[in-house]
Structure 1
């Protein structure tokens, strides 16, 4: 009888151990690939073990949505818990080990070099779709530009709106500072191996919201051209006096971004250090974000899922 009782106790302990470990156990999908469990009830995150997050301004709602779902926090508690220091500072913080995971645009060449100099390899994983968009004042009659025209404007070859179907007025092409998220996309996705013309400081607003304000302003009306990312310009910082223009005849919206018909589709990425262990909180969070439930939270936060 004692022997049976002893076996029962050992069996019970074994079941408890398996149950306690279940949230870290990967599961196979129909393709044979492993992924995280999609039920947040099995993700035992707490404030104490939650990964340290940083990121771009445009991914603040994503981080807040994740925290509210996994930590069951109120909106007020979440806003005090999440701090994003903008794209470049987020990369620096990750490389220096001050944070565990960041939600950002792709790294610039300088950020990749900084990581290499520190002996750090970055893992860059797309988690939501977005797009790079161009915007003008609503007073500007131009509704679309060819990609080639955009390149020539930012090379300084096209300088007047009449050359691209607008009024006979100069083009003021706004840029962002080096290593800002939108400037990196402009360099890597739009211009590629072409050099952007130098612009005076007053045409390089530090803040993405400030760039939108400049384009929206009455003084610039028909002159200004600027760029941003779709989520930020259409959701976080909207203005009645700006409009997003098409590229090669295709306007950016959720449908054209989702089906990739808009030519400048991009993404927001989760970036972590490659030496993160498989059971680290950062990796568990990334696995959950790519699960059905994580993508559902991303969509509820206003983003376009990658799946």
Structure 2
């Protein structure tokens, strides 16, 4: 995650933990309570959130109606929170100033995920530097031979979404940098004209590198890693994850932030969480909840 994001998120985590531990939400709802939650799809570790949700229902007797957005989970969460169709929703991006202000949304970090870069198994490249990644996606490097590969044009794909939010992949690829300040903004116009959009919410985006050996695609680590990756091309061994700055994304490197493209996973509420919502968030953030998240596919627990 970016320098600024890491510091801001730690402050946010402290604020949310403080609120939840103050006892403001100590009263537990009755067993007749129903929470409506967007748990997210496979690209955001939805199976892990569903596992925690089932354990929460069992432990508390509070029923949860789980939904999944059809494509991009962040936009689905905001839209359905504002229309009051859900009570809590998952997002991989932090909310923006408008959402936190006039719309009154509140975010709570619940886990850590990452973005990974996938290429065809036949591609000899095993690692690219941060600068090489930025050069590829900003059009300064256009051929694999320029980074030690074969003489072939590079076809980059990426999730180019959540444009009004400080999404971690775009921060990494086209973030504007200032000396000693890290990434301070995102400039989508820096994306090269040959960068194609990966389909939001589709766990099979890594198959793009299966059908075209010249593709590099950035997508969530959750969808291509673990015991049973959501991406079919990864399951059959047709594609591979490459390292960034010689660091492979894996739970340890993502948790300690040595891998440079990690991000927080958030649960969002409209307004300060009420008692049932806070109980759900407390459960996810508890030792039991964090262990369930990581054992069911989410990359790393909260720091």
Structures share fold, TM-score greater than 0.5: yes
Local SS of the residue matching 2:107? strand
CA distance in structure 1 between the aligned counterparts of 2:110 and 2:164, rounded to whole angstroms = 16
CA contact (8 A) 1:172 1:224 kept: yes
Further displaced range: 172-181 or 252-261: 172-181
The counterpart of 2:217, out of the listed 226, 245, 251, is: 226
Task: List gaps (5 residues or longer) in structure 2.
Answer: 1-16, 177-186
Contact kept, 8 Å, 2:284 with 2:290, in 1: the verdict is yes
TM-score (norm 2): 0.74
RMSD: 3.1
Aligned to 1:133: 116
Q: Does residue 1:63 correspond to 2:49, yes or no?
A: yes
Distance 1:199 1:56 in 2: 29
Partner Cα separation in structure 2 for residue 49 and residue 259 of structure 1:
38
> 2-side partners of 1:60 and 1:204: how far apart?
19
Match of 1:215 in 2: 209
In structure 1, the gaps of 5 or more residues are 1-31
Between 99-108 and 244-253, the greater mean CA deviation after superposition:
99-108
CA shift digits 1:40-82 (9 cap, x unpaired): xx96674x41321114322321331122212239xxxx9x942
Note the 1:1-307 alignment, pairs <5 A.
35=20, 46=31, 48-57=32-41, 58-72=44-58, 81-85=65-69, 86-107=73-94, 113=98, 119-179=102-162, 184-193=167-176, 194=187, 195-199=190-194, 203-217=197-211, 220-221=212-213, 223-235=214-226, 236-238=229-231, 239=234, 240-277=237-274, 279=275, 281-303=276-298, 304-307=300-303
Partner of 2:253, secondary structure, is helix
CA distance in 1, matches of 2:56, 2:200: 33
- Distance in 2 separating the partners of 1:114 and 1:43: 28
User: Which structure has greater helix proportion?
Assistant: 1
Indicate how the Cα distance of structure 1 residues 180 and 227 shifts in structure 2: closer, same or farther if over 3 A, else same.
farther
Q: What is the CA-CA distance between 1:155 and the residue it aligns to?
A: 0.9
Partner of 1:13: none
Q: Which residue of 2 aligns with 1:12?
A: none
SS at match of 1:186: helix
Residue 183 of structure 2 corresponds to none
SS at 2:153's partner residue? coil
Superposed displacement of residue 207, structure 1 = 4.3
Higher relative contact order, chain-length normalized (CA < 8 Å, sep 6+): 2
Greater C-alpha Rg: 1
TM-score, L = length of structure 1: 0.73
